């Protein structure tokens, strides 16, 4: 059957979002699990379990306790859903960001779209005009479905995006995905539709270009920016070995073929910020600047949402008259709180970054122990703990018993009222 590439429409993102919603709730029973705490199979088997336990009080009591436990957890499940809405959680979901990004890209003139990706990768990979397309394989094969496709005259760029609400969690890019993308290339090359495409490329768009976003990345990725076009470089042997034990595909049969495909299909790793900066640079030469800048602002918001949960801190000045946290150091068993040493102040996060002002010199040996302990605490609560809302957690921690008996004490300070 014929492989089709259909131009992507702006409104197509709404349809795709609904498609994903119905697909995942249907396939994985997510709606049942989220609302009841157990999947569909559990509830289907429950009547039979009750019948079997009818004359067995011990078993019946066990089932009742299990149901009571599910009922008691109902409020917590409701709270999680409420928080998702309250804190704009849907805006941080990968499927939503992906569809929003596609709506933006589909709205761009073909030359602008091509210019963006040519500038981010290599000008030879796309013609001067390109369009966003959807693919229809026309077969029952389970091949990878790229997050987006940019089609030139005789070129195809395959895109994958990764979003992570909390760094260290969620789906990461692995060797299997790379091989699956190359399998798609091999499938298209082997198609009877002669001259479908002459050039293929692959771009991965991530919140950050580092190993954190790849499964065992250091084992199969040699470089993120090799050569003049700053493409990725791979250890072919390790890439094939890691992908071999995963989901079966029939088009990349051995290391040699994988190496050949990687030499023909350049792979790029770029960040959302790079995409945004490139767009901002491209629109300088276009008329109707206000219109394109408005789209750029939306793209910038997507970039921020894509990195949501990657909390960090930086050193700087903290305004004492505004809301902040003060960090002191001292042992409550040895001295009074008023005698504790004030080591730092921390501001609420702005664009997911807290500002920390250290009040002691790190060069003084007397301060080294305090500074080390305080920095460790700051890093733990802002970065490592992976809280959905670190500032909210820090405020709660300020009143905890753990905070009282630790040598590092967090004290919440409200903003001073203007007179």
Q: Read off the pLDDT of residues 73-122 as tens digits, 9 standing for 90 and up.
A: 877 777 766 765 665 556 667 777 888 899 999 999 999 999 999 999 99
Instruction: Give the count of domains, the chain.
Output: 3
- Pair 79, 218 in one domain: no
Residue 241 tokens, joined: 């070995």
Check if the beta carbon of residue 173 is closer than 8 Å to that of residue 160.
Answer: yes
Mean model confidence pLDDT for the chain: 85
For 132, how many CA atoms within 13 A lie in the half-sphere containing its CB?
A: 24
List the end-to-end C-alpha distance of the chain, in Å, as a whole number: 76
- Pair 157, 42 in one domain: no
Question: CA-CA distances (angstroms) from residue 382 to 347, 375, 379, 385, 393?
Answer: 11, 11, 5, 7, 9
Residue 134 reports pLDDT greater than 70: yes
Q: Which of 62, 89, 116 is a domain's end point?
A: 89
Query: Using CA atoms, how far apart are residues 235 and 98, in angstroms rounded to an integer?
Result: 29
**DSSP state, residue 409:** E
Closest CA to 181 of 225, 150, 209, 144: 144
Q: Which of 69, 89, 109 is a domain's end point?
A: 89
Instruction: Show the DSSP H helices in 196-286 as ranges.
Output: 217-220, 236-244, 255-264, 272-282
Backbone angles phi, psi at 173, to 5 degrees: -85, 135
- Pair 329, 364 in one domain: yes
- Pair 393, 404 in one domain: yes
Per-residue pLDDT band for 20 (boundaries 50, 70, 90) equals: low
CB burial readout 79-108, b (16+ within 10 A) else e = eeeeeeeeeebeebbbbbbbbbbbbbbbeb
- Pair 143, 248 in one domain: yes
- Pair 48, 195 in one domain: no
Q: Is residue 34 part of a domain?
A: yes
Q: Is residue 119 part of a domain?
A: yes
Q: Is residue 151 part of a domain?
A: yes
- Pair 204, 63 in one domain: no
- Pair 22, 64 in one domain: yes
Q: Is residue 418 part of a domain?
A: no
Question: CA-CA distances (angstroms) from residue 48 to 32, 41, 53, 205?
Answer: 19, 12, 9, 49
- Pair 205, 280 in one domain: yes
Check if the beta carbon of residue 264 is closer than 8 Å to that of residue 254.
Answer: no
Q: Is residue 419 part of a domain?
A: no
Query: Using CA atoms, how far apart are residues 116 and 118, in angstroms rounded to an integer?
Result: 6
Q: Which of 46, 66, 89 is a domain's end point?
A: 89
Q: Which range, of 26-30, 62-66, 80-84, averages the lowest pLDDT?
A: 26-30
Query: Which pLDDT belongs to residue 108?
Result: 94
CA quadruple 138, 142, 144, 149: dihedral, nearest 10: 10
**DSSP state, residue 76:** H
Per-residue pLDDT band for 304 (boundaries 50, 70, 90) equals: confident
Q: Is residue 219 part of a domain?
A: yes
- Pair 135, 279 in one domain: yes
Query: Which pLDDT belongs to residue 158?
Result: 96
Closest CA to 84 of 348, 381, 383, 389: 389
Q: Is 227 exposed, middle or buried (0-12, 13-18, 19+ CB in 10 A)?
A: exposed
**Strands 312-315 and 353-358, sheet pairing:** parallel
What is the domain extent for residue 366? 312-413
Query: Which pLDDT belongs to residue 169?
Result: 47
Per-residue pLDDT band for 1 (boundaries 50, 70, 90) equals: low
- Pair 151, 231 in one domain: yes
Residue 165 reports pLDDT greater than 70: no
Query: Which pLDDT belongs to residue 168?
Result: 47
The 10s digit of each residue's pLDDT in 338-361 is 889 999 999 999 877 899 999 988
- Pair 318, 392 in one domain: yes
Count of residues making up the chain: 419
Query: Which pLDDT belongs to residue 268?
Result: 97
**pLDDT (mean) for 402-418:** 89
Instruction: Show the DSSP H helices in 249-340 as ranges.
Output: 255-264, 272-282, 289-306
Q: Is residue 294 part of a domain?
A: yes
Query: Using CA atoms, how far apart are residues 103 and 98, in angstroms rounded to an integer?
Result: 9
Residue 171 tokens, joined: 């789906």
Q: Is residue 159 part of a domain?
A: yes
Query: Using CA atoms, how far apart are residues 205 and 209, in angstroms rounded to an integer?
Result: 9
Query: Which pLDDT belongs to residue 395?
Result: 92
Say which residue, 128 or 167, is predicted with more confidence. Answer: 128
């Amino acid at each position: 059957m014929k492989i089709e590439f259909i131009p992507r429409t702006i409104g197509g993102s709404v349809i795709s979002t609904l498609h994903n919603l119905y697909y995942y709730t249907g396939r994985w029973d997510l709606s049942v699990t989220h609302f009841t705490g157990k999947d569909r199979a559990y509830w289907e088997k429950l009547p039979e379990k009750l019948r079997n336990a009818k004359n067995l009080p011990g078993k019946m009591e066990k089932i009742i306790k299990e149901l009571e436990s599910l009922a008691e957890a109902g409020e917590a499940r409701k709270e999680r859903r409420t928080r998702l809405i309250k804190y704009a959680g849907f805006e941080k979901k990968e499927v939503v960001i992906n569809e929003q990004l596609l709506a933006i890209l589909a709205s761009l003139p073909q030359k602008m779209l091509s210019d963006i990706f040519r500038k981010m990768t290599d000008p030879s990979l796309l013609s001067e005009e390109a369009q966003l397309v959807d693919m229809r394989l026309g077969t029952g094969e389970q091949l990878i479905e790229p997050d987006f496709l940019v089609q030139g005259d005789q070129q195809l760029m395959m895109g994958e995006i990764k979003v992570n609400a909390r760094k260290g969690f969620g789906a990461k890019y692995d060797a299997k995905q790379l091989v699956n993308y190359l399998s798609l290339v091999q499938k298209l090359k082997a198609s009877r539709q002669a001259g479908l495409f002459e050039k293929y490329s692959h771009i991965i768009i991530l919140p950050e270009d580092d190993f954190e976003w790849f499964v065992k990345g250091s084992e199969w990725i040699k470089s993120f920016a090799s050569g003049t076009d700053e493409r990725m470089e791979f250890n072919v042997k390790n890439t094939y070995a890691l992908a071999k034990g995963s989901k079966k595909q029939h088009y990349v049969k051995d290391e040699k073929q994988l190496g050949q495909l990687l030499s023909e299909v350049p792979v790029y790793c770029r960040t959302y910020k790079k995409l945004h900066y490139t767009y901002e640079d491209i629109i300088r030469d276009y008329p109707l600047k206000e219109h394109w800048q408005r789209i750029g602002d939306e793209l910038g918001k997507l970039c921020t949402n894509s990195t949501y949960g990657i909390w960090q801190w930086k050193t700087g000045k903290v305004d004492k008259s505004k809301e902040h946290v003060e960090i002191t150091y001292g042992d409550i068993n040895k001295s009074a709180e008023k005698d504790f040493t004030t080591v730092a102040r921390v501001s609420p996060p702005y664009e997911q970054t807290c500002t920390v002002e250290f009040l002691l010199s790190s060069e003084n040996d007397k301060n080294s122990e305090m500074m080390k302990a305080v920095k460790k605490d700051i890093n733990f609560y802002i970065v490592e703990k992976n809280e959905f809302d670190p500032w909210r957690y820090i405020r709660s921690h300020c009143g905890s018993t753990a905070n009282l008996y630790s040598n590092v004490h967090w004290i919440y300070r409200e903003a001073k009222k203007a007179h």
